[in-house]
Amino acid sequence: MRRKFCIALTFVFFLMNFIPIAAQEVSLPLQSEAVILIEENTGKVLYEKNSTQKMYPASTTKILTALIALENADLNEVIKVGNEVYQVPLDASKAGHNPGDEITLKDLLTSLLLPSGNDSAYVIASYISKKTTGNNELDLNSAIAQFANMMNERAKEIGVKDSYFVNPHGYHNENHYTTAYDLALITREALKNPAFKEIVKQPTADIGNSSSPNQRKFSFRNRNLLLDSRNSDTYYPYATGVKTGFTDEAGECLVASATKDHMNLIAVLLKSPTDARWNDAKTLFDYGFENFKYYQVAKKGDVIDRVYVEKHSPKGPSELEVLIKEDFTGLFHKDDISHIEKKISWNQEPLVAPITEGQTVGAVTFTLNGEELSKIELIAKYGIEKRTIWDVMFSLNAVPYWCGGIGGVFIITMISNAIRKRKNRRGLHFK
C-alpha cells in the first residue's frame, strides 16, 4: 500500500512540474556591435549579441600573444630587445623599448598588456619564434609569420573556429579577424594561467631594474579603466582584467573580467562607440551577477528515495534507502532553479534481494525544460539479505501453521497407534 502511494505521489509531482517554461529573452541596452558574456569556470554563455559575427579585434589580440609567450618561455627569462621595435607603425601604441634593452618576459608581458605596447608584441614574437624554431637568424617578417602560425594553431586547440591572426599586436589587417565568442574562449584559456591573471588585474605596474645598465625602469597605467578607482564613471569594483583595443576599423574594443560571490565572468565588447564600452561592460556584469547563481542540485550521500525490496530476509529491513553517488552543482538562471526536474530509473524493477552496501541500483536524471543536465548513479546505503527456506519456515507468520501441522500429525499418529493397539488386544481375546 505504501509503495502504491509513493508511486502515485511521484506521478502527481511529475505532472505539477511538467509546465512549459518560455525561453527567457533579454535585450540589454548595449551600444557595442558584438558582445558576449560567459561564466569563466563553466564556459556557459549568459548573454550574447552578434557573438559569431566577424569582427576586428585590435589590441585584444595581445591576449593570445601573451598566452603563446607564457606557454613557450619562463617568466624570468631575460630577453634582449632588437631592431624589431623600429618596425612598429608610427600611430601604434608603444611601451617605449629601445634596441639593446634587456627585459624579463614577465616585464615584457606587463608592457604588452597594460600600456598595450606593439613594440612589446614584436619583441615577444621575434624571441619566441627564434626560440621554438632554433633559428636565431630569423628576420622579423619570418618571425611574425611563424608566431602567427603558432597563434592560429593554439586557437584551434582552444576551440576557436571563426578567427584568423596574421600579427601579434592586432594592428589592422583585413585578414586578421575574430568573433566575440572566439575571443571569450581565448580569454578563458589565458585566465587559467596565474601569471596572466596577476598581470591583467593591476591598475598600475612598475617594471625594470635601475641597477642594471640595460634594464630601464618603467611605470605603466592599465588602459582598462574598469580598474581605475580614480574615475567613478568607469570604475567597476568587481573588475579583475583584462585588455582594451582600438583601431579606426575595429572601433573601441574591450575584453573584461569580474568576480563576485565566487562567480567569475568574462565580457567581450567589440566595435563600441566612443567610451560606451565601459558602461556596456558594467551592464553585462550586473546582469550576470544579479540573474545567475551556482546551485547545488544534488549532494553526494543524500538519501533520494526509499524503496521496497522483494524477497528480503525477515531478519533485516524490507526497504532500501538509496543514496546519490556524487555531487551536482550547476550555474543557473535564478528563475530556472525551481523548474529543475528529476527522474529515477532502476536497474531492475522491482528491486530484489540480495543487495550489497554501495551497490549501484539505478540512476537519477536531472533535466531543465526537457534538456538533460546530469545523470548520476544511485547506490544502496546498506545491504539487504535474501530470505532463505529456513526464513520462510520459521518466520513469525509461518510458525503457528508449522506448529499446528506438527501437532496435527502428532495427534493423528497417537490415535492411529491407539486404534492399532486396541485391535491387537481384541485379536488376542477371540483366539
> Per-residue confidence of the chain (431 residues) as pLDDT tens digits?
434 434 333 333 333 333 232 334 789 999 999 999 999 999 999 999 999 999 999 999 999 999 999 999 999 999 999 999 999 999 999 999 999 999 999 999 999 999 999 999 999 999 999 999 999 999 999 999 999 999 999 999 999 999 999 999 999 999 999 999 999 999 999 999 999 999 999 999 999 875 566 778 899 999 999 999 999 999 999 999 999 999 999 999 999 999 999 999 999 999 999 999 999 999 999 999 999 999 999 999 999 999 999 999 998 899 999 999 999 999 999 999 999 999 999 999 999 999 999 999 999 999 999 999 999 999 999 999 998 776 665 555 555 554 555 556 566 777 777 677 666 655 544 44
Q: Are 203 and 237 in contact (CB under 8 A)?
A: no
Q: Is 93 an active-site residue?
A: no
Has domain 34-291 been given CATH number 3.40.710.10?
A: yes
Angle at the Cα of 134 (from 130 to 137), degrees rounded to 5?
55
Q: What pLDDT is stored for residue 335 in this prediction?
A: 96
Q: What pLDDT is stored for residue 406 in this prediction?
A: 59
Query: What long-range pairs does 188-192 form, CB within 8 A, spacing at least 24?
Result: 188/38, 188/40, 188/43, 188/266, 189/67, 189/158, 190/63, 190/64, 190/66, 190/67, 190/242, 191/40, 191/241, 191/242, 191/257, 191/264, 191/266
Burial class of residue 191 in the structure, from the number of CB atoms within 10 Å of its CB (0-12 exposed, 13-18 middle, 19+ buried): buried
Write the CA distances from 375 to 249, 295, 334, 370, integer angstroms.
47, 16, 21, 13
Q: Is 116 an active-site residue?
A: yes
pTM here is 0.82
260 is in an annotated binding site: no
Q: What pLDDT is stored for residue 212 in this prediction?
A: 63
- The active-site residue, picked from 32, 51, 62, 111, is 62
CATH architecture of 2-19+299-380: Sandwich (2.60)
Q: Is 62 an active-site residue?
A: yes
**3-class secondary structure per residue, the chain:** CHHHHHHHHHHHHHHHHCCCCCCCCCCCCCCCCEEEEEECCCCCEEEEECCCCCECCHHHHHHHHHHHHHHHCCCCCEEECCHHHHHCCCCCCCCCCCCCCEEEHHHHHHHHHCCCCHHHHHHHHHHHHHHHHCCCCCCHHHHHHHHHHHHHHHHHHHCCCCCECCCCCCCCCCCCEECHHHHHHHHHHHCCCHHHHHHHCCCEEEECCCCCCCCCCEEEECCCHHHCCCCCCCCCCCEEEEEEEEECCCEEEEEEEEEECCEEEEEEEEEECCCHHHHHHHHHHHHHHHHEEEEEEECCCCEEEEEEEECECCCCCCEEEEEECCCEEEEEECCCHHHEEEEEEECCCCEECCECCCCEEEEEEEEECCEEEEEEEEEECCCECECCHHHHHCCCCCHHHHHHHHHHHHHHHHHHHHHHHHHHHHHHHCC
Q: What pLDDT is stored for residue 430 in this prediction?
A: 45
- The active-site residue, picked from 51, 93, 111, 116, is 116
- The active-site residue, picked from 32, 51, 59, 257, is 59
The β-bridge relationship of strands 328-333 and 292-298 is: antiparallel
